[in-house]
Homo-oligomer: A and B are copies of this chain.
């Protein structure tokens, strides 16, 4: 786990998210051009679409990189994934003597716009942090019923809305919904007053499947990971979620980081699962460490103000791995498809400042946060920008995701038909 050096100087910095060790995949455009596939390297993006079209990269069964989305490559399977990574590593390594042609395929990230890196087939959200489930359960159902009876046996999940998934940098508009005050008899329709984030890791299915898959097989199906902010309307959720689960509370937006960090890039950062409070059923047992040691944090920036880091946690706090979640997802015979996105669920840790949502950080609004500019926050206010950060830390380098950010815009005016 040492830095692999590149001929692109900015990739050799200890501060960049994108050294040669990483090589994450995104989709970028420059003014006047269509979006195309690229790889982040230091401050630059390497245009792999052109590299493939010009024969600098050749992949069995390709071309795969000509459609402005990574889905064709994702569907090609692990052998092709490894081959592309190996070719990119060779092309961009410091010992490559023939870089003149390659120089022309570099675009500065500052000059590019980033787009959603893959087409989301379906989106599933899980509930894999024991601390998060305990915190939320305590607030919603009381301490004695905090952790549902099934939680220690099932990687609990529910289907989310793929059409809600947007790339980092997309503004989010405060939603409307049905709200019922605790002391009211009946609900009203109005703007959400408790809009929140959820700090998650998203796993992306590459290889499709039919039928039940083991944890190991499921792990091999995962192409890579993104940071994921599952924006959540807590007041809408509280009124709607019984008995069939969250619905409109989670459908406003789900922001993902612009770069897919491949499973291969994260292999050196595997971490073991925590001790099991109850033995897992055989089908869910792991053959090895399947979590990842990825530092995660949340920044909150009021409009015109400075950013405060309000939480720091780690992906190794998950109780169930993405591989276990995906295995469980297939038990019913559910077909999985290239581009399926699996959110980890909010990743909280045992300490107060390790909580991955404002609901937990402000304990339902009872204990507001104080930001660096002295503003107080229980939930997100109009104009606030919320940013997730994540990186696996090597010796003198980091394998990062880039920022996963979004700004909350005020609710739109309510149309007449909704009020009269």
Q: Give chain A's interface residues, CB within 8 Å of chain B.
A: 121-122, 127, 137, 140-141, 148-150, 153-154, 156-164, 173, 175-178, 180, 186-189, 211-212, 214, 216, 233, 236, 239-249, 251-253, 278, 281-283, 328-329, 331-337, 412, 415, 417-420
CA of A243 to CA of B249, assembled, Å: 14
Known: A245-B244, A245-B245. Is A283-B418 also a contact (CB below 8 A)? yes
Secondary structure of the A contact surface, majority rule: loop
Contacts A158-B247, A245-B246, A329-B248; A164 near B417 (Cβ below 8 A): no
Tell me the complex Cα distance, A420–B284, Å: 11
B252 touches A332 (CB 8 A): yes
| Interface core residue of A140, A154, A159, A212 (most chain B CB under 10 Å) | A159
Chain B residues lying within 8 Å of A158, measured Cβ to Cβ, are 158-159, 244-245, 247
Q: Which of B150, B161, B337, B417 contacts A334 (CB 8 A)?
A: B161
Q: Are B415 and A281 in contact (CB under 8 A)?
A: no
What is the bound-complex CA distance between A283 and B417, given in angstroms?
Answer: 6
- Chain B residues near A154: list those with CB within 8 A: 178, 187, 239-240
Q: Chain B contacts of A175 at CB under 8 A?
A: 331-333
Closest CB in chain B relative to A346 CB, distance in Å = 12
Contact status A248-B163, CB under 8 Å:
no
Q: Which one, B159, B337, B418, contacts A160 given CB within 8 A? A: B159
Known: A150-B242, A189-B331. 12 other contacts (CB 8 A): A127-B244, A137-B243, A150-B178, A150-B240, A159-B247, A214-B415, A214-B418, A244-B245, A245-B246, A248-B332, A249-B332, A282-B419
Whether B157 contacts A332 by the Cβ 8 Å rule is no
Query: Across the interface, do B162 and A247 meet the contact criterion of CB distance under 8 Å?
Result: no
Question: Shortest CB–CB separation between residue A285 and chain B, in angstroms?
Answer: 9
- Max chain B Cβ within 10 angstroms of own Cβ: one of A160, A247, A248, A420: A247
Distance of A329 Cα from B329 Cα, bound (Å):
24
A186 close to B278 (CB less than 8 A): yes
In contact, B247 and A420 (Cβ under 8 angstroms): no
Contacts of A244 in B (CB 8 A): 127, 156-158, 241, 245-246
A159 touches B156 (CB 8 A): no
Residues on B with C-beta less than 8 A from A334 are 161, 163-164, 248, 251-252
User: In the assembled complex, how far is the CB of residue A361 from the closest CB belonging to chain B, in whole angstroms?
Assistant: 21
A187: which of B173, B281, B412, B417 is its contact (CB, 8 Å)?
B281
B161 pairs with A122, CB closer than 8 A: yes
B187 touches A335 (CB 8 A): no
In the complex, what's the smallest C-beta–C-beta distance from A336 to chain B, in angstroms?
A: 7
Pairs across A and B, CB under 8 Å, 7 listed: A140-B243, A150-B180, A150-B240, A153-B187, A156-B247, A175-B332, A283-B419
Find the B residue at minimum CB distance from A164: B334
- The answer for the CA separation of A331 and B158 in the assembled complex, in Å, is 20
CB distance from A159 to the nearest CB of B (A): 4
Name the distance in Å between A410's Cβ and chain B's nearest Cβ: 13
- Rounded to whole angstroms, the CA-CA distance of A211 and B412 in the bound complex is 10
- B residues near A149, Cβ cutoff 8 Å: 242
Q: How far is the CB of A333 from chain B (nearest CB, A)?
A: 5
Residues of B within 8 A of A278 (CB): 186
Q: For residue A131, give the distance in angstroms from its CB to the closest CB of chain B.
A: 16
